[in-house]
Structure 1
């Protein structure tokens, strides 16, 4: 219990001094509430290991649903469900090729988010 209290104390200021200029500068960089809501929803999508694996596979190669099923050893309905979620958040896109749909990541930002996240957890 004492360690918890000690850790809480470390997170607090021991004196109260407001740095008005710093606060103003930082607040000027805040986006509007809707932007943060959309960002939070996007990060929720990244909170699922299956979706992360799908995006990781797609960061290497465009794949159809059958390819993803084989690579992940999952059913087509399970993969399709996750792809719908990813498409709804504009993280993946697809292109019809005959009777198949080939999926790819929506843009380079998705690749960068994945790459930075993996680098961070491996530090």
Structure 2
């Protein structure tokens, strides 16, 4: 019994919809339970941008100010600030002020863990 086949465009198509109703019900329940799926998509989009990922990686070892980040990344202060604003809005980084200097750090251990898990996955192959 053929369950799937490749169509003329090279895409796999399903011959029998609902072949595994229990598995479909479990998956639908999990997808429906993710009320915050848009926020999750934005989080992963932030990690998908090389510049933002470089900023997050630079902050792994501790606090840096915008000037430090411009030196590390070879970018203008306004470009770095723009990316930091996006990362702060997604709660990936936080800031603290010391006099007139604003320092940035990873928001919490979850961000560090996401970076570490991503690196481990990429290096696994």
- 1:60 aligns to 2:61 (yes or no): yes
Secondary structure, aligned partner of 1:29: helix
Give how far 1:14 is off.
6.2
Structure 2: how far apart are the matches of 1:16 and 1:48?
Answer: 36
TM-score, normalised with respect to structure 1: 0.81
Q: Would the aligned equivalents of 2:106 and 2:112 in 1 still touch at CA under 8 Å?
A: yes
Give how far 1:27 is off.
2.5
1:99 maps to 100
TM-score, normalised with respect to structure 2: 0.80
Structure 1: how far apart are the matches of 2:44 and 2:18?
Answer: 34
Consecutive unaligned residues of structure 1, counting only runs of 5 or more, are none
Structure 1: how far apart are the matches of 2:27 and 2:18?
Answer: 16
Corresponding residue pairs, total: 119
Structure with bigger helix share is 1
Give how far 1:119 is off.
2.2
Give how far 1:37 is off.
1.0
Structure 2: how far apart are the matches of 1:62 and 1:17?
Answer: 52
Q: Which runs of 4+ in 1 moved over 6 A?
A: none
- 1:88 aligns to 2:89 (yes or no): yes
Consecutive unaligned residues of structure 2, counting only runs of 5 or more, are 1-6
Whose relative contact order is higher, 1 or 2, with alpha carbons under 8 Å and at least 6 apart?
1
RMSD: 2.3
Give how far 1:120 is off.
2.1
Structure 1: how far apart are the matches of 2:18 and 2:107?
Answer: 45
1:27 maps to 28
Q: Which moved more, 1:35-44 or 1:12-21?
A: 12-21
Structure 2: how far apart are the matches of 1:31 and 1:109?
Answer: 24
1:110 maps to 111
